Amino acid sequence: MDKVTDVLNIEQQIEELSRYEGKALALDIYIGSQAVATSGSTISEALISKLRRTDPERVRFSKGGGQLCLPDKDIEQAIRANIIPFRAELALEAGVQEDLSQEVRGMATRKVRQLFESSRFLSKVDLNAAADVASDLIRRAQSLESTAFKLHDLRSYDDYTYFHSVNVCVLGIALFRNYTDSEQQLLDLGISLLLHDIGKSRVPLEILNKPGPLSEQEFDQMRKHVRYGVELLDGSLDVPKLCLEVVLNHHERVNGTGYLRQLRENELSLFDMLASICDVFDAVTTDRCYRSKMDFHRAVSILIRGSGTHFNNKLVNHFLQGIGRFPVGTFVLLSNREIGVVSRVNSEALSLPEISVIFDGWGNRLEQPRRLDLHADASGIYIDRPLDTSPLIGISAKNETDLKH
Ligand SMILES: [Fe+2]
Ligand SMILES: [Fe+2]
């Protein structure tokens, strides 16, 4: 840029700034090498007249991502009120794909409910029906990097176990897909994840759906679901070994603090450990009758904290590579005060995903969402913070062991 254009730009910026008197500055302003106003300070009349009196060649604005002032706090709150309730619709309009459509998820959940209910009466599991559901999900579930996991999250508490079984299956398939070339192994894993909690069909419903923490005695009953699951599967023909193991071991932890047998990492299979990660992640990000769901970031931090102690380190890393620090579908406030939704994870730069920008820095909806790849973009814009954190009510789980599942 030549000097004349530069001076004109500075003069224009000063005039632009005068429109925002009283608001908070979004960048730093220097005269020579001295900062005369910093980001967050109020844009005052005195500042503007001082800048107007100064030789424009000596005035310099730091990069503020294109914005001169920060939005008012109440604007931000209004945006949140306009985003959170409509996040699924906004995200889909912005081109963010869901991992499964509502219909497919609903259909799979109904079939899993039938599986659970018939196992209650017949004392065995219809493995063919489970294989049908699993292979359908394998066909439809995509990779984690490009699809939003559970964008819609409307579920009734009584259905929790069935929804959870479908979610854990989809998550595990998406995660494991590039670990194997064997279709049979992928199918066996899909069946195992779909049925990992099948033993809960023998746990009394009052305990399963209890709206509050379990007593020690009730928790003991709950723990038995892994044993019940194996008993139910043993009565069925041709059960894959992998399936029996996942059902029995999905609550084991790599340091031997899980249940039922306190196995350690060297006694657990890759599938057992993969199931435990998907199981915890889904449980944490789901509304339950005794607590509201935690957001993805807390779920991710539970996995990171438990990596190497509760969960296999390599698998946690692989999981995070896929889902990113900001999973697809997360609404974020950018450093230039624009708001958008994560549309794709960059596996080489987990904090710099691709964004579909929906609102400008003043909270106005853009006519067309704008694609912004934070990793490829040279403007230095970054994610200030995620916006879709749900408030915690009731019991909040500080770590994985606080969770009842
Ligand atoms: Fe379980
Ligand atoms: Fe589970």
pLDDT, tens digit, 9 for 90 and up, residues 167-206:
999 999 988 887 888 999 999 999 999 999 999 999 998 8
Ligand nearest to the CA of 260: 1
CA of 230 to the centre of ligand 1 (A): 12
pLDDT of residue 143: 66
Report the pLDDT value the prediction gives residue 393, as an integer from 0 to 100.
29
Mean pLDDT of 68-85: 71
Residue 165 CA to ligand 2 centre (angstroms): 7
Would you say residue 403 has pLDDT above 60?
Answer: no
Q: What would the mean pLDDT of 46-63 be, rounded to a whole number?
A: 89
What's the rounded Cα separation, in Å, for the pair 228 and 217?
17
Say how many Å lie between the CA of residue 200 and the centre of ligand 1.
8
Q: Which ligand is nearest to the CA of 161?
A: 2
Q: Cα(358) to centroid of ligand 2, in Å?
A: 36
Which pLDDT score is estimated for 399?
Answer: 46
Sole residue written with tokens 């209910």: 117
What percentage of the chain has pLDDT greater than the value 90?
40
Token code pair at residue 137: 């999900």
pLDDT at 71: 67
Answering whether pTM is above 0.85, one says no
Spacing, Cα 278 to ligand 1 middle (Å): 11
- Average pLDDT score over the chain: 83
**Does 141 have pLDDT greater than 70?**
yes
Amino acid in the structure at residue 350:
L
Distance 18 CA to ligand 2 centre (A): 58
Average pLDDT over residues 25-45: 86
Exposure letters 172-207 (e unless 16+ CB within 10 A, then b): bbbbbbeeeeeeeebbbbbbbbbbbbbbbbbbeeeb
CA–centroid distance, 244 to ligand 2, in Å, is 14
Q: Which of 157-161, 236-240, 295-299 has the highest mean pLDDT?
A: 236-240
Peptide bond into 263 cis (omega under 30): no
Domains of the chain, by residue range, sit at 3-70, 72-96+331-387, 101-323
* Whether residue 356 has pLDDT greater than 60: yes
How high is the pLDDT of residue 169? 94
**224 C-alpha to ligand 2 centroid (Å):** 13
pLDDT (mean) for 336-358? 89
Closest listed ligand to the CA of 164: 2
Query: From ligand 1's centre to the CA of 169, what distance in Å?
Result: 13
Q: Which of 118-132, 220-234, 287-301 has the highest mean pLDDT?
A: 220-234
Assign 391 a pLDDT band (cuts: 50, 70, 90): very low
- Which 3 state secondary structure label does DSSP give 52? helix
3-state secondary structure of 366: strand
Query: Residue 180 has what pLDDT?
Result: 83
Q: Predicted confidence band at 396 (pLDDT cuts at 50, 70, 90)?
A: very low
Characterize the bridge pairing of strands 331-334 and 147-148: unpaired
How many angstroms separate the CA atoms of 404 and 223, rounded? 10
Q: How far is the CA of 320 from the centre of ligand 1 (A)?
A: 22
- Distance of CA 246 from the midpoint of ligand 1 (Å): 10
CATH level 3 topology of 101-323: Hypothetical protein af1432 (1.10.3210)
Residue 208 has pLDDT above 90, yes or no: no
- Ligand 2 centroid–CA 198 distance in Å is 9
Confidence grade of residue 397 (pLDDT, cut at 50, 70, 90)? very low
The rounded Å distance from CA 145 to ligand 2 centre is 23
Which range among 67-81, 113-127, 170-184 shows the weakest confidence by mean pLDDT?
67-81
How does pLDDT run across 13-24, given as a tens digit for each residue?
888 888 788 788
Tell me how far the alpha carbon of residue 207 lies from the centroid of ligand 1, in angstroms.
14
Q: Looking at the CA of 168, which ligand is closest?
A: 2
Mean pLDDT along residues 334-339: 85
| CATH among 2.60.40, 3.40.50, 1.10.1060, 3.90.105 for 3-70 | 3.90.105
- Nearest listed ligand to the Cα of residue 226: 1
Rounded mean pLDDT of 267-295? 81
